[in-house]
């Protein structure tokens, strides 16, 4: 018999989850001192990794054991059945999604320090449970609604075909957050960037087979469709440059 904790996603989803995440992140984000130390330690490993990347987008989160992100806490390690060291490979998907969106918008990969800077920015502001539960989606929404960018977003039951079609038509690139397993919160959340091209809509860093979807709606609802556990969307963000 498995001793794994099971918490149904019916307990909390959509806007209530996002609100709780944001509150917890304000109380449990990584300290500035630790995050700034991580930034300095990440510069050379990231530069080396960047030179080896075959795509401008980050597609293999599991490779990022070389990058520091998050702060070890025994309680969170046990509660979330965490295996091994906490690094960017396990809990930086929101930051990767932001980076991939920036690559699409402005070729962020051409600045060799851009990803360490993003890790630092979100780690000391928006990480949840010292990074064990990733980064608050509210942090991403605020980030992309300042300066030269603007965004819109949907939560939970408001994520439907009509609403996503409106976002598809009016925004350039997209980020969505989903439960990995619709039956269990403990199987964590994954956040990804969706870009569009003539071939269709593509989910980056999805862990799955590279698939082009016909629409934003199809990409969001069919993510992990063929996995062992069906996913469940929590939030979708549409992002564009200000006109």
The ranges assigned to domains in the chain are 14-241
pLDDT by residue (tens digit) across 223-234? 866 555 566 788
The pLDDT of residue 11 is 47
- In DSSP notation, 123-178 reads HHHHBSGGGTT-B-HHHHHHHTSSTTEEEEEEEGGG--HHHHHHHHHH-SEEEEEE
Instruction: Give the whole-angstrom CA distance, residue 42 versus residue 57.
Output: 18
Q: pLDDT band for position 8 (50/70/90)?
A: very low
Instruction: Give the whole-angstrom CA distance, residue 215 versus residue 238.
Output: 13
The pLDDT of residue 1 is 37
Percent of the chain's residues with pLDDT above 70 = 85
The pLDDT of residue 204 is 96
The pLDDT of residue 194 is 97
The pLDDT of residue 78 is 75
The pLDDT of residue 197 is 94
pLDDT by residue (tens digit) across 149-167? 999 999 988 999 999 999 9
The pLDDT of residue 83 is 76
CB 47 within 8 A of CB 117: no
Between 17 and 197, whose confidence is greater? 197
CB 76 within 8 A of CB 132: yes
Encoding tokens for residue 81? 């059945």
CATH class of 14-241: alpha beta
pLDDT by residue (tens digit) across 48-63? 999 999 899 999 999 9
Q: pLDDT band for position 242 (50/70/90)?
A: confident
Q: What does pTM read for this prediction? A: 0.90
CB 191 within 8 A of CB 175: yes
| Contact residues for 197 (Cβ-Cβ < 8 A; gap 6+) | 212
Q: Is the pLDDT of residue 141 over 80?
A: yes
Lowest mean pLDDT: which of 8-12, 17-21, 123-127, 169-173? 8-12
Q: Is 202 left (phi over 0), alpha (psi -120 to 50) or beta?
A: beta
Helix (H) or strand (E) holding 3: none
The pLDDT of residue 120 is 97
**What value does the mean pLDDT of the chain take?**
86
pLDDT by residue (tens digit) across 63-102? 999 999 998 888 777 776 777 788 999 899 999 999 999 9
């Amino acid at each position: 018999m498995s001793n794994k904790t099971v918490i149904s996603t019916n307990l909390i989803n959509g806007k209530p989850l996002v609100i709780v995440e944001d509150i917890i992140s304000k109380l449990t984000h990584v300290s500035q001192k630790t995050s700034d130390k991580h930034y300095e330690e990440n510069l050379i490993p990231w530069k080396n990794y960047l030179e080896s990347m075959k795509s401008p987008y980050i597609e293999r989160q599991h490779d990022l054991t070389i990058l520091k992100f998050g702060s070890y806490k025994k309680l969170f390690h046990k509660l979330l059945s965490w295996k091994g060291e906490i690094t960017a490979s396990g809990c930086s998907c929101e930051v990767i999604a932001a980076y991939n969106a920036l690559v699409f918008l402005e070729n962020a990969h051409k600045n060799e320090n851009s990803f360490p800077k993003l890790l630092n920015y979100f780690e000391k502001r928006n990480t949840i449970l010292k990074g064990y539960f990733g980064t608050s989606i509210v942090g991403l929404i605020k980030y992309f609604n300042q300066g030269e960018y603007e965004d819109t977003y949907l939560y939970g039951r408001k994520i439907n075909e009509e609403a996503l079609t409106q976002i598809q038509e009016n925004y350039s690139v997209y980020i969505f957050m989903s439960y990995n397993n619709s039956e269990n919160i403990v199987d964590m959340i994954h956040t990804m960037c969706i870009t569009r091209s003539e071939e269709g809509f593509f989910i980056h860093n999805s862990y799955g087979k590279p698939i082009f979807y016909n629409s934003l709606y199809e990409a969001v609802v069919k993510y992990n469709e063929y996995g062992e556990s069906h996913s469940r969307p929590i939030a979708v963000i549409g992002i564009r440059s200000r006109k």
